[in-house]
Amino acid sequence: MNTFYSKWLGGKKGVIELAVLAAFIFIVLPLWLDIFRLNMVGKYLTYAFAAVGLVMVWGYGGILSLGQGVFFGIGGYCMAMFLKLEASDPVSTARQTTPGIPDFMDWNQVTSLPLFWEPFHSLIFTLIAVIVVPGVIAYVIGAAMFKRRVSGVYFSIITQAIAAILTILVVGQQGMTGGINGITDLKTLHGWNINSNSAKYILYYVNGALLLGVIVLCKYVLSSKFGRLLLAMRDKEDRVRFSGYDVANFKIFTFSLGAAISAIGGAMFTLQVGFMSPSLIGIVPSIEMVIFAAIGGRMSLVGAVYGTWLVNYGKTAFSESFPSLWLFLMGALFIGVVMLFPNGLAGLYNSYLKERLEKLVLKFKQSGLFKKLNPVKTELQNEQ
């Protein structure tokens, strides 16, 4: 119980953070917004997966990946392939030259389902693929890069190139991928209409729960010995290497973890928005994801969620009110945040709000309840 409390949830501070975030996602937003706006927030929160992944990879691992959209996209495409196959039953595609295959294949003179599509008839395979495929791809990329000690800006450039390559591949192979239109017109998940209002509520909550789950998992990873090594590596890589650790393996693991997390977001995006397209895997969305993490504070897992929400909320609100000026306002927002709070929203919290909260905590410490908890805490500190 104690390990769970301190390691998974990150102690008292962690519990409060998570509770506030959970209240925000599960109570405040649904009460505040109608289903249309809530579904939009659901979409933003899928980007938050990528931002949380980036906090791990970039904030703690010190690896700036400008290709997080690749993994978001692969996760999304895996899910979209399953949904598309379900929507392309022979009855509803009877109009096509070859009924029973997705419509865009028919338009591109493809007459039979490509082999790599076949397993996506199975939901279980799809769910596994959503996490495993991006994880494996990240592993391969990571192994190829980190084993050769490619790092820093070179790594960033390569990830960006991979994002560009994948976009070109998807757009070019349109008979198999839907090309620039993407995979559209997705209707049901195992017969369950994903476009109904009730489905949107359910998907929103599932999305929120998964997001919190991912954050808890990341907290656990960070509170373990591994998390400490990660920080040590980020700050003095050589020293860790000379201490006998294989730095590359740790980096590969972090990178794969970040990829798998982004991919979950991608799959949830497909379910909530109803399509997947190459515009979500390219360079621009990948960089946007870095912005989300930067605005939230790149060392803060929950900050990443707020950062994502704030940027996307701004995007929507500005573009609705000022259709021709909104990009300038977004620019002003980015510049403002970077100039005033270089550590993002989390930095804002740390430098302005934390002190006040700590005073409150101090008062709490003097009360009787704290003394009961205190021995446990010191014990833990000694352990570490």
Partner 1 sequence: MSSKKPMVPSTDSCASAGLSMRKVALAVAGTLLFAAAGSALAATPPTSQVNTTHLAVTDNEIIVGQLHSSTGTMAISETGSIEAERLAIDQINASGGVLGRKIKIIQEDGASDWPTFAEKAKKLLEENHVAAIFGCWTSASRKAVLPVLERDNGLLYYPTFYEGLEQSKNVIYTGQEATQQVFAGLDWVAKTKHAKTFYLIGSDYIWPRTTMKLARKYIETVLHGKVVGEEYAALGSTGFGSTINKIRLKKPDVIYAAVVGGSNVSWFKQLKAAGITGKNHTLLTLSVTEDEVKGIGGENLTGFYSAMKYFQSLDTPRNKEFVKQFKAKFGADAPIGDVTQAAYEGPWIWKAAVEKAGSFDTDKVVKAEETGSISIDAPEGMVYLESNHHLKTRLRIGEWRSDGQADIVYTSDYIMPNPFPKGY
Q: Write out the residues near partner 1 by the rule CB under 8 A.
A: 36, 39-40, 43, 95, 103-104, 107-109, 168, 171-172, 174, 179-182, 184-187, 195, 273-275, 277, 279-280, 316, 319-320, 323-324, 326-327
Nearer to partner 1, 108 or 151 (CB): 108
Q: Indicate the residue among 90 and 213 with the shorter CB distance to partner 1.
A: 90
| CA nearest to 181, candidates 103, 254, 113, 93 | 103
CB of 242 vs partner 1, minimal distance in Å: 47
State the minimum distance, in angstroms, from the CB of residue 283 to partner 1.
Answer: 12
Q: How far is the CB of 313 from partner 1 (least distance, A)?
A: 12
Asked if residue 130 lies in contact with residue 267, where contact means CB atoms within 8 angstroms, the answer is: yes
Distance CA 154, CA 286 (A): 16
Q: How far is it, in rounded angstroms, from Cα 178 to Cα 183?
A: 5
Q: How far is the CB of 299 from partner 1 (least distance, A)?
A: 29
Considering beta carbons, is residue 109 or 366 the nearer one to partner 1? 109
Pick the closer one to partner 1 by CB: 323 or 375. 323
Q: Which is nearer to partner 1, 151 or 279 (CB)?
A: 279
Residue 69 φ/ψ, nearest 5 degrees: -60, -30
- C-alpha 296/C-alpha 76 separation (Å) is 24
Q: What gap in Å lies between CA 223 and CA 192, rounded to an integer?
A: 39
Return the C-alpha torsion angle 160, 162, 167, 170, nearest 10: -170
Rounded CA separation 347/220 (Å): 22
How remote is the C-alpha of 337 from its chain's centroid? 21
Say how far apart CA 132 and CA 305 lie, in whole Å.
24
Shortest Å distance, C-beta 333 to partner 1: 15
State the minimum distance, in angstroms, from the CB of residue 51 to partner 1: 17
Nearer to partner 1, 97 or 249 (CB): 97
Q: Is the dihedral of CA 164, 169, 170, 174 positive or negative?
A: positive
C-alpha 306/C-alpha 44 separation (Å) is: 10
Least CB distance to partner 1 at residue 180 (A): 5
- Report in angstroms how near the CB of residue 154 gets to partner 1 at its nearest: 25
β-strand partners of 170: none
Question: Residue 296 in contact with residue 39, Cβ under 8 Å?
Answer: no
Q: Which is nearer to partner 1, 270 or 343 (CB)?
A: 270
User: Of 79 and 222, which has the nearer Cβ to partner 1?
Assistant: 79
CA distance 339 to 246: 37
Query: Which strand (E) or helix (H) includes residue 306?
Result: helix 301-321
